[in-house]
Structure 1
Amino acid sequence: MSSILDDLKMQYQLGGVAFRLIFWNVLCFLVSLPFFYQFQLGVFNFPDWIVLTSDPSVLITKPWTLISYAFFHHGFGHLFFNMMVLHFSSMLFLTFFNSKQFIGLYLLSALFSGIAFVTGYYFLHLSSAMVGASGAIMAILVATTTYRPLMTIRLLFFGNVKLWHITMVILVLDFMQFRIENTGGHIAHLAGAFFGFIFIKLLQNGIDLSRILNNPFQKSRRAPFKKVHKNYPKSAPKPSSRIVVKDKTQQQIDEILDKISQSGYDCLTQEEKEFLFKAGK
């Protein structure tokens, strides 16, 4: 059991921001099962301090639900589909953008989608509650599509298709089902898609919205070293350059990481896994 936990910890450390986000979504779902799933009725009964309710009077007293709802799901199928799309979208998004922009877009679009849901239901005179990461995931997908619409994606049974074709089909399905079922969910999807589009357009104009958030899924790092240029007198010789040699521990870490990049994490020996886990602490 301890080796499994160590492997999970190692995967969490090396998996990247998208893997960590999926991990937290799955963990929240598993934790919610024994508390909020009514096994006899087969439904989830989340309390109003987790779900996002369309009642503004409740939202005012529990503003954190504008974020918390995006980490819970009302069933395994809901979770599985969302995490599949999140995995697909995150791989594409992180090809062009960094992890801070990724998590910033996820959180900000979840917030925007939640506000759109509450506002839409208020004007439609409807009442409901919502959970799920669909709005934030749509933002990531549409953001990538806005930036590289002609990217070619190879799909099973369909062959090569353009990314904008995939995104367009999803958006059309949302529009078609808007008043048929799950109106709140479709409002969140479309709001997330709109936010993803705006996020990229602002980014292309030099405005990075993700800067207003810190990345909670990434360890803080020291500020990068800055060179200081000093003017020396002409008579004084310039300092000679020095070669910095890595210590043995760092060299061994680099060799293990190279091995992972070439053959995958499973190719490591137990000693290498334990060494890398201890070095990451």
Structure 2
Amino acid sequence: MTILDDLKLQYKLGGITHRLIYWNVGCFLISLVFFYQFSAGNFNFPNWIALHTAAPDFLIFPWTFLTYAFFHDGFWHLLFNMVILNFASSLFLTFFTQKQLLGLYVLGAIFAGIIFVGAYFFLNLTASIVGASAAIMAVLVAITSYQPLLGVQLLVFGKVKLWQLTAVVLIIDLMQFRLDNTGGHLSHLAGAFFGWLFIQLLQNGTDLSKIVTAVLAFFANPFQRSSAAPFKKVHKNYTQTVKQKPISRIVTKDKTQQQIDEILDKISQSGYDSLSKEEKEFLFKTGK
């Protein structure tokens, strides 16, 4: 089993957090190949990927309100964001679902992008942004709004309350607001506000993540239509009695399925890394 096969299996078995990280890392590798200027030592993202505040760009390429949240302008930018994403998502998924996490990430990015473009367009300024920070801030503030007193263990500072950690992150953003990357910090704060709004609406019975779920379901099955079963007229024969065989209530599993279930139970209890090489190869072969 190769490293590539191992990564494919982790992607298949992992949740939405793993997939978001894979997508961000994959986009970063793509940008290294196509958008990195080695002579200048920086990235030059085209206007159909980065979110630009110039009216022709964001009107012609409306998908950039989302694509900007999967590209990063440096390795440390990517690494920091993925660490925070993994941390915030693990806490979020303790109380909410995978679909809600994906919906929050996507809608948080779009909302922050709209605020960024709207503010700069109103001020007649031109800039562009990339990075998942706004979407990640939405996840972090959402779980903080829901469980502010949740204790988290930090490597250096020990155990602190979740609201204290989030407050420090927000204060740092506010302090840097006028120094550099004003548009980036503006989008971070917009993402944070959306995370708070998401939880408030959810507690009142409105789940905004269903918007993303519905859109994905539509594009996954664009031509699927639910058709009602045609009416059938049934003639009952009262003179003839048919002796039916008793229906067995015993369900038997084949050996392969039983082995798959045992491996999946092991993953849920101890994680993917606890599998042996033979178990990983077995899963990969049966998953094809």
TM-score normalised by L of structure 1:
0.88
Aligned pair in 2 of structure 1 residues 267, 91: CA closer, same or farther (>3 Å)? closer
How far residue 240 of structure 1 moved from its aligned partner, in angstroms, is: 7.6
Aligned CA-pair RMSD: 2.0
What is the distance in 2 between the residues matched to 1:134 and 1:62?
A: 21
**Residue of structure 1 equivalent to 2:279:** 272
How far residue 273 of structure 1 moved from its aligned partner, in angstroms, is: 1.8
Matches within 5 A, 1:8-157: 8-157=7-156
1:254 to 241, 245, 261: 261
How far residue 248 of structure 1 moved from its aligned partner, in angstroms, is: 1.7
Aligned residues with identical type, % of pairs? 64
What is the distance in 2 between the residues matched to 1:153 and 1:81?
A: 18
How far residue 267 of structure 1 moved from its aligned partner, in angstroms, is: 4.2
Contact 2:21 2:82 in 1 (8 A): yes
Q: Which deviates the most, 71-80 or 242-251? A: 242-251
Structure 2 residue identity aligned to 1:253: I
What is the distance in 2 between the residues matched to 1:268 and 1:166?
A: 34
Larger-gyration structure (1/2): 2
Structure 2 residue identity aligned to 1:272: E
What is the distance in 2 between the residues matched to 1:190 and 1:267?
A: 39
Superposed CA deviations along residues 217-268 of structure 1, whole A, max 9, x for unmatched, are 9xx8xxxxxxxxxxxxxxxxxx988132222221110112233344443443
What is the distance in 2 between the residues matched to 1:242 and 1:135?
A: 53
What is the distance in 2 between the residues matched to 1:268 and 1:182?
A: 44
**Residue of structure 2 equivalent to 1:242:** 249
List alignment gaps of at least 5 residues for structure 2: 221-245
What is the distance in 1 between the residues matched to 2:98 and 2:23?
A: 16
Q: Which deviates the most, 95-104 or 150-159? A: 150-159
What is the distance in 1 between the residues matched to 2:274 and 2:201?
A: 43
Note if 1:193 corresponds to 2:192.
Answer: yes
**Residue of structure 2 equivalent to 1:226:** none
SS at 2:160's partner residue? strand
TM-score normalised by L of structure 2:
0.86
SS at 1:244's partner residue? coil
How far residue 13 of structure 1 moved from its aligned partner, in angstroms, is: 1.1
Tell me the matched-pair count.
261
List alignment gaps of at least 5 residues for structure 1: 221-238
Superposed CA deviations along residues 106-158 of structure 1, whole A, max 9, x for unmatched, are 00010000000001111222111110000000000000000000000111221
Structure 2 residue identity aligned to 1:175: L
How far residue 3 of structure 1 moved from its aligned partner, in angstroms, is: 1.1
**Residue of structure 1 equivalent to 2:159:** 160
**Residue of structure 1 equivalent to 2:209:** 210
